[in-house]
């Protein structure tokens, strides 16, 4: 198993960036290893810099108990999320829903057309209060050979790929 380092992603125009601390990477890997050969996922909680240019992940929440997983599909449940998000919003250090994460077991970390449809739906849904929703996908073998991609889905209908580095 390779060592776990924090991950940083940026758009080519530097408008968007995402920072995932090492503890977030460890949490992601724990969730995907537990899932085995099934897809899994959850939500990303965090905060933004004052200028809104960088999102930092504070927590990687795993799949709610009502989630459903298959080998090539995942439906994230909602049980307990509203309560969890309200608790985080009301805490002394306010954090926000940043977006979603999920796992493509032994496959590419690129978003599928269904992933893209779901993320545009989230970005356009005012209940999420997230007009620029982040999607982080981990793919490959979580024990030895995994990769992560990050994208920002803009309410206006386009996607921005964030590059590592």
Enzyme catalytic residues: 39
Dihedral of the alpha carbons of 161, 148, 118, 62, in degrees to the nearest 10: -140
For 147-165, give the secondary structure using H, E and C.
EEEEEEEECCCCEEEEEEC
Question: How many residues belong to the chain?
Answer: 165
Residue with tokens 């964030």: 162
C-beta separation of 103 from 142 below 8 A:
yes
Task: Provide the 8-state DSSP code for 136.
Answer: E
Structure tokens at 86: 């309200």
Distance of alpha carbon 62 from its chain centroid, rounded?
10
- CB count within 10 Å of CB 54 equals 18
CB 146 within 8 A of CB 54: no
């Amino acid at each position: 198993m390779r060592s776990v380092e924090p991950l940083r992603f940026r758009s080519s125009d530097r408008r968007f960036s995402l920072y995932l601390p090492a503890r977030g990477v460890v949490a992601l890997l724990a969730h995907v290893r537990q899932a085995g050969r099934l897809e899994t996922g959850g939500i990303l909680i965090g905060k933004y810099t004052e200028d809104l240019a960088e999102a930092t992940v504070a927590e990687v929440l795993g799949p709610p108990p009502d989630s459903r997983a298959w080998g090539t599909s995942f439906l994230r449940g909602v049980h307990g999320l509203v309560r969890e998000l309200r608790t985080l919003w009301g805490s002394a250090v306010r954090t926000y829903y940043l977006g979603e994460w999920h796992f493509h077991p032994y496959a590419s970390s690129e978003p599928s057309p269904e992933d893209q449809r779901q993320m545009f739906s989230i970005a356009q849904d005012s209940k999420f209060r997230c007009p620029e929703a982040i999607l982080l996908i981990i793919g490959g073998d979580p024990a030895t050979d995994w990769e992560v991609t990050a994208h920002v889905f803009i309410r206006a209908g386009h996607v921005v790929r964030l590059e590592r580095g």
